Amino acid sequence: MPTRAQTNAKAAALRAHFEAHGAQAIEPPLLQPAGTLLDLYGEDIRARAYVTSDALRGEQMLRPDFTVPVVQMHMADGAEPARYTYAGEVFRRQERHADRPNEYVQVGYEVFARDDPAASDAEVFALISRALADLPVRAITGDIGMLMAVVAGLQTSQLRKEALMRHIWRPRRFRALLEQFAGRTPVSPARRALLEGKVACDAPLVGLRSHREIEARITALKNDAKVPPIKARDVQMIEALLDIGAPMPDALARLHDLSVDLPAIVPAVARVSARMDALAARGIDVASLMFDASYGRASMEYYDGFVFGFKARDRTDLPPLATGGRYDALTRRLGDGTEIPAVGGVLRPGLILELEGVV
């Protein structure tokens, strides 16, 4: 394993690579207000982050990544356009993967620019690709916005759309909800009895929910039961979309074909097409660059468009050496009424050194 000194030296070199392309070096604080992350992602983030607290500052988290503090900093007083780079430790609990480090170094590059999102996507991807040019890696891309557009265009209730949208980054839960809303999942006897008003209980109230909240939830379930199932054709279209995985030109051709029957994705397909042209203009071999419509659904939940990753070809045991994507909606959430298109990516210098054989 590389030493900390070796990792820090590699991180400094990578940051210098981004500074040479116009990025401003910044150092976001190690501790972040936990409330912000919990508001964005819910209590799920607790399973992945280290939390502490004190009487003056309240609940704090050791940063699980850099993007949120960078966005907060930029939206507070950043000029436009802006490019930032950073290097430092992030902290992730690894309760399911004891062999993975819970502290490691990230180096990142973030672009905030309004004029040409496709060009910004290509800029970030190309610079990270160049930093990994001498390594045996393979790149994969995707677009979370494609599935988000399909969900937004479904002919169903707004509450069902919101439920599906929340679980786009949880593929199994998303699939279970889709099956349920399509009427493919049998209603359990307990829920059926509840919906039919055949359940009565005089047990004392236990837990955090009030009687009013429980009654509201039951009313919501009854209203949802009256909503017609999502059409089988719409489910098939979603399945066809998520099944697309091919070199970018071939994937784009399939997306164009699918958009004939799925007009909700037309704007997203146009963005993929513009991005492919921008990547080609940056010297990326798009003919061999993979596009997977399902890629990125296990990543950080702020991505809402372009996503990408670089993996070692012959080291399937290693996590991705670099990941990134577009997070326009995050700037809207943290911008206090303002927003700006934004895209970025991070590299892990420790993994790069390991792949280089540094010990």
Q: What is the pLDDT of residue 293?
A: 95
CA distances from 264 to 165, 193, 237, 250, 254 (A): 15, 37, 11, 20, 15
Nearest residue to 294 (alpha-carbon basis) of 162, 161, 152, 171: 171
The average pLDDT across 173-193 equals 84
The torsion angles phi and psi of 324, rounded to 5 degrees, stand at 180, -175
Condensed to tens digits (0 to 9), the pLDDT of residues 100-112 reads 788 899 999 999 9
Mean pLDDT of 139-157: 94
Q: pLDDT at residue 299 above 90?
A: no
Looking at the chain, the domain(s) classified CATH 3.30.930.10 span 1-136+341-359
Average pLDDT, the chain: 88
pTM given for the model:
0.89
Q: Band of the pLDDT at 148, cuts 50, 70, 90? A: very high
Class of the 1-136+341-359 domain?
alpha beta
Is a pLDDT exceeding 60 seen at residue 359? Answer: no
**pLDDT beyond 60 at 203:** no
pLDDT number for residue 100: 75
What pLDDT is attached to residue 225?
Answer: 75
pLDDT confidence tier of residue 20, bands split at 50, 70 and 90: very high
Cis ω before 249 (30° cut-off from 0): no
User: In the predicted model, is pLDDT for residue 290 greater than 90?
Assistant: yes
Reading the block at residue 32, the tokens are 């972040």
Confidence of residue 352 (pLDDT cuts 50, 70, 90): very high
